Structure 1
């Protein structure tokens, strides 16, 4: 089902749901029907439906903007632990991660979707000896996805926008894009979201909307907060996003708190985003 430009949606894992029926009930309570759906990995929630997830999700009546894939073994305890364990960064886990990515592609196409989002891992800087093999892996990811008509959007935050821009330019793979998360840039203390938006705008395929404050202690996480209450400047970000020509959905993500607290904060976020778009 088509999704209108800047439709407000939710990331399924933020609601900590375990079944399609539970997800649909939460979406109905929120008054939205757009969702970016977890493939069903350990980090982004497993599904009671198991292999029947695609059939159940397609019959549920909500609209899906894309899938999200995480990898077993990713450790988000601190920025340092995820730097060591995230995405395709560790050469010793790449073969396993590629296999998991291929599974994610199968799940994505079974859901009737053409977009998959993931963290690529901490991209090595230009001049780093590890960069060549890392880019070779990302090119392989692109090729695997292209064979089944899928676009891969790398989520922002674990590198500067300049490095991500350089990497996309170096790769020149038409199906490698950006899943833009302004709060991640603050949580990782990597970049300014508005400056990054301008640099990455041509390749922004999808957006996660959450808010955060930068860390006060180096090498520690920043603080994730409800939309409009942090340093992301969500109102200005949404206006800049509109001006950039972005026409995809705005999927709210909330990754801290109990299920009840997350729902409350997402409910606030839906209302807040509607006010931002109305103004």
Structure 2
């Protein structure tokens, strides 16, 4: 039941957060959580592979849930530490760019098979202006945007691996109508890349999707921060939601939880859904 028409601020859950391996299992858990919407993993090492294999899109389209977009992770990405993901993430590694553009082509095709128009991914650590690697990196992002445009798909780069000002400058420089933002406030804390509230104000016009996740900043430079259940970290979820509305965001809100076993994640996601529902019900 893919759909591109949603109520403003539709609540849902990222499929990989539920650690599911099949569409029926995803369907059942979403129903138990009382939500209809999901952002679905294309089917890759980091965001779940599907028992259905190449038949996954057909199974997903026949399910009871609605999909807001798809998510791509690249084989070889390693989140052991911030430094290692900087070396292995997204389009960062020069030697893997051609291979990852091919993987993007596959993901764009799968996104179309799912009847969707939005594909989320991590671009990788964006080089700063003046970095000799920046022109080639931006050329790769331009190519990604061109390929997406050919398929009628919007690519949304997930926040966190760079400060908001750098992402803003990069999007302005690329000036591509198909390159947008999937905003994850917790990532900005986990990577220690600035204030997520201010980042919403900077990136607001280009935010097309949101991962609702919470975290605390690292206490030791170069280490990860700590992901925590929604409402228990340093994002300030009520203020974050209010800021999204203030910049005019009306897209989906997808709860993401990437720590704990399946039972713990389902519990935390359920509490997060209650928190967000309560706040949205109390605010105009």
TM-score interval for Structure 1 and Structure 2 normalised by the shorter chain: over 0.9
Alpha carbons 1:37, 1:64 under 8 Å: kept: yes
Q: Which residue of 2 aligns with 1:233?
A: 236
Residue pairs, 1:84-163, within 5 angstroms: 84-163=87-166
1:186 maps onto 2:174 in alignment: no
- 2:75 is aligned, of 72, 77, 86, to 72
Q: Which residue of 2 aligns with 1:170?
A: 173
User: Using the alignment, how far apart are the partners of 2:246 and 2:33 within structure 1?
Assistant: 27
User: Using the alignment, how far apart are the partners of 2:151 and 2:183 within structure 1?
Assistant: 23
Q: CA deviation at 1:228?
A: 0.6
Q: Which residue of 2 aligns with 1:253?
A: 256
Alpha carbons 1:3, 1:63 under 8 Å: kept: no
Residue pairs, 1:181-220, within 5 angstroms: 181-220=184-223
User: Using the alignment, how far apart are the partners of 2:25 and 2:272 within structure 1?
Assistant: 20
Q: CA deviation at 1:207?
A: 0.2
Q: CA deviation at 1:238?
A: 0.3
1:265 maps onto 2:273 in alignment: no
User: Using the alignment, how far apart are the partners of 2:193 and 2:258 within structure 1?
Assistant: 19
Q: CA deviation at 1:243?
A: 1.3
User: Using the alignment, how far apart are the partners of 2:275 and 2:266 within structure 1?
Assistant: 14
User: Using the alignment, how far apart are the partners of 1:172 and 1:251 within structure 2?
Assistant: 27
SS in 1 for 2:59: helix
Task: Write out the 4+ residue segments of structure 1 that deviate beyond 6 Å after TM superposition.
Answer: none
Q: Which residue of 2 aligns with 1:18?
A: 21
User: Using the alignment, how far apart are the partners of 1:157 and 1:111 within structure 2?
Assistant: 27
Q: Which residue of 1 aligns with 2:58?
A: 55
TM-score (norm 1): 0.99
1:244 maps onto 2:257 in alignment: no
Count of equivalent residues: 279
RMSD: 0.5
The C-alpha deviation readout for 1:246-268, integer Å capped at 9, x for no partner, is 01010000000001100100011
User: Using the alignment, how far apart are the partners of 1:124 and 1:241 within structure 2?
Assistant: 27
User: Using the alignment, how far apart are the partners of 2:185 and 2:107 within structure 1?
Assistant: 25
Q: Which residue of 2 aligns with 1:32?
A: 35
Alpha carbons 1:35, 1:64 under 8 Å: kept: yes
Q: CA deviation at 1:45?
A: 0.4
Q: CA deviation at 1:98?
A: 0.5
User: Using the alignment, how far apart are the partners of 1:4 and 1:51 within structure 2?
Assistant: 30
Q: Which runs of 5+ in 1 are unaligned?
A: none
